[in-house]
Amino acid sequence: MRQPFWTTLTILSAFFVVPQFATAQNLTPQQMSRLLKRFPQVDRDGDGKLSPEEIAPLRERLEKAKKRKEQGVTPTQTKPKGPAPTHADLQYGDHENAVMDVWIADAEKPTPIVVAIHGGGFKSGDKSRFHGCAELQACLENGVSFASINYRFRDEDPRGILACLHDSKRAIQFIRHQAKEWNIDKERVAAFGRSAGAGTTLWLACHDDMADPNSTDPVQRESSRVVAGGLMGTQATYDVLQWKELLPLKQPWTPEIEKRREPDILVAYGVQSLDELNSEKGKAIRKERDMLAWMSADDPPIWMKNTMRGGPIAMNDQNHFNHHPAHVACLKKRADEVGMQTVAIAPSVGLKPNPEMSMIDFLFEHLGLDPSR
């Protein structure tokens, strides 16, 4: 689900296969534009250009890729990381991507569980991202079960991002439905994620409980709430039309810019036109995805961290747009307004708690683990 290894090698080779493309200065404007579009994260200062320092990591990536090809190494040959799941590729929903891996902690009493949700802009990513991760290891060492989930991507359902969010909601409900069989304490379920996974965790934490007690599906009758959330590189809201007001932009958001972004906006919202988005139906869709609007004092505590640079955002720097620390600042401000407990770490916008609590310690605290463990 991530960009294939050979695809990356082919793309980079197209730019660096001959000596005159060894430096940023020798790239044509067209080549520079193509590189920025394919790898926006390399434009670290967000000026819409590539300096020699910014282009160096791409050349290094190409050299590593070439060595892997020469050695005959492919991603499919990589050994699995960490302990094997107790349950692998377990189907929890009606889409082929609605699967999870679950590690059941060895314990006599029902255990808490931490659910990991991968990022990827709701367009890519995979649950294997968390195989062997430090959070998994810490959970199993402390008698906490762990799950890592996949979900459908936004272009696989006419509802767009909302379909991805509802898959993750069902994953939480499915885990609770399996609580007795898996020896899980369904009152102690926490979640965390990166990027889109962080935003999904935030949505689960802030949204009213989506349990349907009258459903004929026993999974749907379970609670969708979590007791704590960990957010790494989160977005403040998935009503993305608000971002132009929440984030510092290098240039004004003009009708021309909105027109260029319109196809992506429509897919993300799951609508056919901007007129539909501005209709009563569209307003309801926007509210459903707006975590800022859902935040209230009775929501669970959240931990969030963003170490990206601040400053104005260039319109072609989607990575900076998606992960600017202003997202955390907006969430912190709203949480303080409604009385929601947070730990917010974003040094470039002045959020520097001291001492700084780690995410896993934060989750363990709110799952009721003994601090002296």
Residue 264 and residue 163 in one domain: yes
Dihedral sign for Cα atoms in the order 349, 353, 355, 360: negative
Angle at CA of residue 233, ends 342 and 290, nearest 5°: 70
Please give the average per-residue pLDDT across 17-46, as a whole number: 57
pLDDT band at 81 (very low <50, low <70, confident <90, very high): confident
**DSSP secondary structure code for residue 220 in this structure:** T
Nearest to 223 by CA among 208, 209, 207, 238: 209
Please give the average per-residue pLDDT across 269-284, as a whole number: 93
Strand order in the sheet with 87-91: 87-91, 99-103, 145-149, 111-117, 184-194, 229-232, 302-305, 342-345
Residue 54 and residue 98 in one domain: no
Residue 160 and residue 235 in one domain: yes
Residue 164 and residue 58 in one domain: no
**DSSP secondary structure code for residue 249 in this structure:** B
For the stretch 320-352, what's the b/e string if a residue is b when 16 or more beta carbons lie within 10 angstroms of its beta carbon? bbbbbbbbbbbbbebbeeeebebbbbbebbebe
**pLDDT single digits (tens) 116-137:** 999 999 999 999 999 999 999 9
Residue 255 and residue 331 in one domain: yes
Residue 137 and residue 259 in one domain: yes
Tell me: pLDDT of 19 over 50.
no
Tell me: pLDDT of 34 over 80.
no
Residue 43 has what pLDDT? 57
Three-state SS annotation for 77-116: HCCCCCCCCCEEEEECCCCCCCEEEEECCCCCCCEEEEEE
Residue 22 has what pLDDT? 45
Percent of the chain with pLDDT over 90: 72
Strands 87-91 and 342-345: unpaired
Q: Which domain holds residue 24?
A: 5-77
Residue 359 has what pLDDT? 98
Residue 47 has what pLDDT? 59
Residue 3 has what pLDDT? 47
Taking each helix axis from N to C end, the angle separating 52-70 and 5-16, rounded to the nearest 10 degrees, works out to 120
CATH number, domain with residue 107:
3.40.50.1820
Residue 5 has what pLDDT? 46
Structure tokens at 151: 């979900």
Q: Which residues contact 138 (CB under 8 A, 6 or more apart)?
A: 144, 360, 364
| pTM, two decimal places | 0.80
